[in-house]
């Protein structure tokens, strides 16, 4: 969903909500408190840094900013219906004529296309955004018509929420979901970050297995892949776990009271959330950063312990996610042991600081979980969930949020990427008995099909080798086609000669130009932090997509050194072997606590005729 779901309801005099009849009710006091705590920070959003620093003054100044953001759930009017995107307003859908019904189905098809298979219908709402509401009879008739429209397209409907605007009239928000013809389900990828003791693996174990933890690490044992992980209790590799939903939002993993394989979960799900459980210990930071760039997750989930707060590795993970401009949400764990209030307050201060400028949204009920999913990308919102893996408190809000959450890529961008020549970044390499080498990674551009001829490289001389892709697997299930933005595993036609394979290689489809690897490339970089300064000769680990290699700074344009917050054009040289890099690719470099980000602007291909730098 590009636009996300709209927050249906918020403070307005016209609405006659039952809760509004008593402003001193516990619910009302809680909502007013939340609105003040979230709204006041967003007033900084469009100010210059100097203004932001001065805006942290009196409480009266902060309260004047309250109406800058409307992400809570009691507003009585929506913005006018957007012409683009996947959101549609309908005042009513009662007994339409055959011609009108066909027009409505065509309209739904377009909205589904805009939302990559998902659309949101606001029933009882006029095009101007006014919440008129419908009687019980008219609402049931409208929902029945909407269901018929969806069935015509092979789609399903589920009511996300329903709210009374008067004692007899209500409005409803309905999710329409259609799985694209070439996919098993709609998938989002979530990277799981946080410190070593935050409880990431335990949280994933509870979410995907449906059984609470015993307080001594029982749930996390399911997530570990190596014996030393079980012995130490620390994740050192990238573990993939899946959470499947049916069309009504029920979790597939434990719906049938049986142990299900990843393939069975994928086959039975209409929505699939793939978690990448990343290492939390500082020793494995390289693996974590490589996964964030190589797999291009749609969202990051930062897990923070209520007892220790956002410190150490958790804080470093947060800074990397911010540097990559990746949407993220936060889960505060171990609330059964320690009250999360102090940790939540620390997170608020970090998120609303001048360098971050996010809007913290403490999710306390199902309606707020839906609102959080709707406003995360469009309004810079960072949802915060407080959960316990032992008692299960708050976990239902996390799953509801994940059910509504959609890939953060526009339909136009998706179509543009699919029309380009195929480019597959290899991140993992396996050897399967009877199959041979299998490579896993992400298709960043184009479309990849079975039996497709591609070029793999670069080799040590910068050249590429022609290979044929035989089979494709996604989520451990065979498929025939992969589209831009999807991860997959590929095997090659037997008995063909393959070059030595390594992580960081690229598979390329047919193109007009012969591809070449490069050792030298130029990038516009910004230093996020360095204890002293960067000079020519500085060595650092470079991360570009699935590439992870040491590089040396060969030149810095127009200056001798770079310190924290400095920007310049820098010439890098890979130390080990050539890599496939192209202008426009984002990069991150780090060496210990020192780190920076940048964009590749020029490459110098190996063994290419002179006079053709890119």
- Span 204-212, average pLDDT: 83
Angle between helices 395-404 and 366-375 (to 10 degrees): 40
Q: In angstroms, how far is the first alpha carbon of the chain from the final one?
A: 35
How high is the pLDDT of residue 1?
41
Give strand ranges (E) for 391-464.
Answer: 423-432, 436-445, 447-449, 453-457
How high is the pLDDT of residue 520?
96
Contact in structure between 563 and 527 (CB atoms under 8 Å): yes
For residue 67, give every residue at least 6 positions away whose Cβ sits within 8 Å of its Cβ, in sequence order, or none.
Answer: 39
How high is the pLDDT of residue 51?
35
pLDDT at 234 over 50: no
Quick: pLDDT tens for 20-78: 334 444 344 433 433 333 333 333 333 333 333 333 333 333 333 233 333 233 567 78
Three-state SS at 36: helix
Quick: pLDDT tens for 119-133: 889 999 998 888 889
Quick: pLDDT tens for 313-325: 888 888 888 888 8
How high is the pLDDT of residue 128?
87
What's the rounded Cα separation, in Å, for the pair 198 and 202?
A: 9
Residues belonging to the chain: 614
How high is the pLDDT of residue 333?
93
Residue written as tokens 């609303």? 352
C-alpha distances (whole Å) from 264 to each of 220, 253, 258, 272, 377 are 22, 9, 11, 12, 31
pLDDT at 487 over 60: yes
What DSSP character marks residue 353? S
Quick: pLDDT tens for 4-20: 333 333 333 333 333 33
How high is the pLDDT of residue 75?
65
pLDDT at 529 over 90: no
* Per-position b or e across 549-572, b if 16+ CB within 10 A of its CB: bebebeebeeeeebeeebebbbbb
- 588-591 — which CB contacts under 8 Å span 24+ positions? 588/289, 588/293, 588/320, 588/323, 588/324, 588/542, 588/543, 589/525, 589/540, 589/541, 589/542, 589/543, 589/551, 590/285, 590/289, 590/540, 590/541, 590/543, 591/538, 591/539, 591/540, 591/541
Highest mean pLDDT among 173-187, 281-295, 419-433 belongs to 419-433
Strand partners, 542: 549, 589
Three-state SS at 138: helix
- Residue 43 main-chain phi, psi, to 5 deg: -65, -15
What's the rounded Cα separation, in Å, for the pair 559 and 569?
A: 10
Q: 198-212, 245-259, 477-491 — which is least confidently predicted?
A: 245-259
Quick: pLDDT tens for 324-346: 888 899 999 999 999 999 999 99
Contact in structure between 424 and 22 (CB atoms under 8 Å): no
- Span 435-454, average pLDDT: 92
Beta-strand relationship, 239-245 and 561-562: unpaired
C-alpha distances (whole Å) from 39 to each of 28, 43, 343, 360, 556 are 16, 7, 20, 9, 43
More confident residue, 232 or 426: 426
How high is the pLDDT of residue 70?
35
Residue written as tokens 């595993």? 489
How high is the pLDDT of residue 20?
35
Q: 24-28, 137-141, 330-334, 462-466 — which is least confidently predicted?
A: 24-28
What's the rounded Cα separation, in Å, for the pair 439 and 320?
A: 27
What's the rounded Cα separation, in Å, for the pair 105 and 124?
A: 18
**Token couple for 464:** 């590429």
What's the rounded Cα separation, in Å, for the pair 40 and 34?
A: 10
What's the rounded Cα separation, in Å, for the pair 22 and 29?
A: 10
Quick: pLDDT tens for 254-307: 766 566 777 778 778 888 898 888 775 566 677 778 778 877 788 999 999 998
**Token couple for 505:** 């290689």
pLDDT at 514 over 70: yes
How high is the pLDDT of residue 63?
36
More confident residue, 207 or 291: 207
Quick: pLDDT tens for 384-423: 999 998 899 999 999 999 998 877 666 667 778 888 999 9
More confident residue, 270 or 539: 539
Quick: pLDDT tens for 567-608: 999 999 999 999 999 999 999 998 877 889 999 999 999 877
Q: 67-76, 125-134, 447-456, 464-473 — which is least confidently predicted?
A: 67-76
Residue written as tokens 């989930």? 301
How high is the pLDDT of residue 129?
85
pLDDT at 562 over 70: yes
Alpha helices in 195-298 (DSSP H): 200-209, 227-232, 262-268, 285-294
**Token couple for 488:** 């997959």
How high is the pLDDT of residue 434?
83
H/E stretch holding 575 = none
Q: 26-30, 98-102, 271-275, 351-355 — which is least confidently predicted?
A: 26-30
Peptide bond into 458 cis (omega under 30): yes
How high is the pLDDT of residue 55?
37
How high is the pLDDT of residue 34?
37
How high is the pLDDT of residue 259?
64
Contact in structure between 15 and 38 (CB atoms under 8 Å): no
Q: How many CB atoms lie within 10 A of CB 167?
A: 8
Residue written as tokens 């291009």? 296
């Amino acid at each position: 969903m590009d636009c996300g779901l709209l927050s249906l309801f918020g403070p307005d005099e016209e609405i006659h909500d039952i809760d509004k009849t008593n402003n001193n009710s516990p619910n009302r006091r809680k909502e007013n408190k939340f609105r003040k705590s979230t709204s006041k920070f967003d007033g900084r959003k469009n100010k210059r840094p100097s203004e932001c620093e001065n805006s942290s003054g009196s409480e009266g100044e902060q309260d004047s900013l309250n109406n800058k953001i409307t992400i809570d759930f009691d507003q009585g009017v929506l913005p006018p219906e957007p012409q683009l995107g996947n959101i549609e307003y309908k005042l009513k859908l009662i007994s339409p004529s055959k011609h009108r019904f066909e027009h409505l189905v065509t309209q739904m098809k377009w909205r589904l296309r805009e939302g990559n298979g998902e659309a949101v219908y606001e029933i009882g709402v006029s095009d101007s955004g006014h919440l008129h509401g419908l009687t019980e009879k008219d609402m049931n008739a409208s929902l029945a018509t909407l269901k018929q429209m969806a069935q015509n397209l092979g789609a399903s409907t589920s009511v996300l929420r329903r709210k009374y605007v008067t004692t007899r009239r209500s409005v409803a928000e309905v999710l329409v979901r259609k799985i694209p013809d070439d996919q098993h389900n709609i998938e989002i990828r979530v990277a799981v970050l946080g410190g070593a003791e935050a409880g990431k693996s335990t949280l994933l174990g509870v979410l995907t297995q449906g059984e609470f933890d015993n307080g001594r690490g029982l749930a996390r044992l399911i997530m570990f892949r190596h014996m030393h992980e079980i012995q130490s209790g620390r994740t050192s590799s990238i573990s993939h776990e899946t959470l499947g939903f049916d069309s009504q939002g029920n979790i597939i993993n434990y719906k049938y009271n049986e142990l299900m394989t990843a393939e069975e979960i994928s086959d039975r799900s209409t929505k699939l959330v793939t978690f990448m459980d990343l290492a939390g210990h500082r020793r494995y930071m390289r693996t974590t950063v490589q996964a964030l760039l190589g797999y291009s997750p749609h969202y990051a989930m930062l897990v923070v312990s209520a007892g220790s707060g956002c410190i150490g590795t958790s804080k470093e993970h947060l800074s990397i996610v911010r540097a990559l401009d990746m949407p993220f949400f936060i889960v505060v764990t171990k609330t059964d042991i320690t009250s999360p209030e102090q940790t939540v307050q620390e997170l608020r201060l970090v998120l609303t600081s001048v360098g971050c400028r996010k809007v913290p949204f403490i999710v306390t009920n199902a309606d707020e979980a839906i609102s959080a999913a709707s406003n995360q990308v469009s309004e810079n919102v960072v949802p915060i969930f407080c959960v316990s893996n032992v008692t299960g408190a708050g976990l239902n809000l996390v799953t509801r949020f994940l059910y509504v959450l959609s890939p953060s890529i526009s339909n136009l961008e998706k179509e543009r990427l699919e029309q380009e020549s195929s480019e597959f970044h290899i991140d993992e390499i396996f050897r399967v008995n009877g199959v041979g080498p299998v490579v896993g990674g992400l298709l960043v551009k184009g479309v990849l099909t079975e039996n497709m001829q591609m070029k793999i490289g670069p080799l040590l001389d910068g050249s590429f080798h022609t290979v044929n892709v035989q089979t494709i697997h996604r989520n451990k299930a065979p498929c025939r086609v992969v589209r831009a933005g999807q991860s997959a595993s590929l095997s090659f036609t037997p008995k063909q000669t393959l070059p030595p394979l390594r992580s960081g290689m690229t598979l390329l489809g047919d193109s007009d130009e012969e591809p070449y690897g490069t050792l030298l490339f130029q990038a516009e970089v910004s230093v996020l932090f360095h204890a002293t300064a960067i000079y020519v000769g500085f060595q650092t680990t470079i991360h570009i997509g699935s590439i992870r290699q040491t590089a040396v700074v060969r030149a810095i344009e127009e200056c001798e050194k770079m310190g924290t917050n400095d920007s310049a054009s820098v010439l890098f040289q890979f130390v080990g072997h050539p890599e496939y890099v192209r202008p426009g690719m984002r990069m991150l470099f780090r060496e210990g606590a020192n780190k920076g980000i940048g964009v590749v602007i020029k490459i110098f291909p190996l063994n290419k005729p002179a006079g053709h730098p890119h």
